[in-house]
Amino acid sequence: MKILLEKSDERHTLSAADINSMLQAYGMSADRKTVYSDIETLREFQIDIVQVKGTNVGYYIGRREFELPELKLLVDAVQSSKFISRKKSEELIKKLESLTNEYDARLLQRNVFIYNRPKTGNETIYYNVDQIHTAILENKQITYQYAEWTVQKKLVPKRNGAVYTVSPWSLTWDDQNYYLIAYDDAADVIKHYRVDKMQQVQIIENTRAGKERFQNFDLAEFAKKTFGMYGGHDAEVTLVCKNELAGVILDRFGKGTMLIPQDEEHFRVHILVSVSRQFFGWTAGIGKEMKIAGPESAKEEYKKYLQEILEGYL
């Protein structure tokens, strides 16, 4: 089975003689009848072994658990994830390579060098995620220290190493970062934290709090309204956009968003967002083709945001 999985595909068939020759590298040998019998046994255990007859007689593995395009997609996901360190990325990709034959594995290896993407240096994120998942499954709270970057490029604990205690309820992936969605019992609010900035994560015996707050919690809606996972105050905002921005709005807020025609060139949209500097930054990045039409308080906050930036260039 190992030989067939690693050495065969529809372009590389193995005859009984080929298999016997390769078995010798393992200090084994078998006659043809034994090879045929073993192949039938593998088929009984749902290994898809295809027999080719004619001039290129032999066997190869047909259907596999993962097809090559699926593995390429998983490799790309691992590479593009900022929260997975380069070392862990290489380890994961090596494991993905083992799910195909050695010929297709080379195609995955070529992609390993397409990095040019920022990667976390925090090796503990794997273990943080495992601890958080365990706490969620066991309905327990966690404690940890939360860190921030310094100018010296060091990750140091905030608030002089203060220990945070929260009830973890979910993990989400946003803007290539992993976030913990948790309930802060002391403040009675739902908060989110970058998992790669969490240190000394420990599970404690306290039962999770905030169950009633999460009974109707919609993680997808939370992620849509929270730009860059930065907090703000929730408000229903009306945007007036040029028609060519329909795709931008639907990509950001979902295909179910109602686009209301305003005139031949513009449409209006009412969206629930977390009004914050990150939301204003997204709006400003799109430019004059999109305007905040209401509420008045959001318009005034946006004007103040833009004015503060302009003052830095006067």
Tell me the per-residue pLDDT of 146-164, one tens digit each, with 9 for 90 and over: 988 776 767 789 889 999 9
**133 Cβ contact list (under 8 Å, min separation 6):** 171
H helix count then E strand count, the chain: 12, 12
Over residues 286-311, the mean pLDDT reads: 93
Q: Integer distance in angstroms from the first to the last C-alpha of the chain? A: 72
Dmax of the chain from CA atoms? 87
Alpha-carbon distance of 275 to 232, in angstroms, equals 5
**Per-residue confidence (pLDDT) for residue 115, from 0 to 100:** 47
**49 Cβ contact list (under 8 Å, min separation 6):** 4, 39, 42, 43, 59, 60, 61, 62
| Per-residue pLDDT at 28 exceeds 70 | yes
Alpha-carbon distance of 199 to 212, in angstroms, equals 28
Q: Which residues of 234-253 are buried (b: 16+ CB within 10 A; e: fewer)?
A: ebebbbbbbeebeeebeeeb
Residue count of the chain: 314
3-state secondary structure of 31: coil
CB 92 within 8 A of CB 77: no
- The three-point CA angle 179-173-251 to 5° equals 130
| Per-residue pLDDT at 232 exceeds 80 | no
Q: How far apart, in Å, are the Cα atoms of 95 and each of 60, 90, 121? A: 22, 9, 21
CB 209 within 8 A of CB 135: no
List the one residue out of 245, 250, 218 whose CA is nearest residue 234. 218
**Per-residue confidence (pLDDT) for residue 60, from 0 to 100:** 94
| Per-residue pLDDT at 213 exceeds 70 | yes
| Per-residue pLDDT at 124 exceeds 80 | no
**Per-residue confidence (pLDDT) for residue 118, from 0 to 100:** 55
Mean of pLDDT over the chain: 86
Instruction: Say what angle helices 102-111 and 68-80 make with each other, to 10 degrees.
Output: 30
Here the contacts of 209-213 (C-beta below 8 Å, separation 24 or greater) are 209/141, 209/167, 209/183, 209/185, 210/167, 210/169, 210/183, 210/185, 213/183
Alpha-carbon distance of 226 to 147, in angstroms, equals 21
Would you give the DSSP letter of residue 158? Answer: S
pLDDT band at 286 (very low <50, low <70, confident <90, very high): very high
**16 Cβ contact list (under 8 Å, min separation 6):** 32, 35, 36
**Per-residue confidence (pLDDT) for residue 117, from 0 to 100:** 52
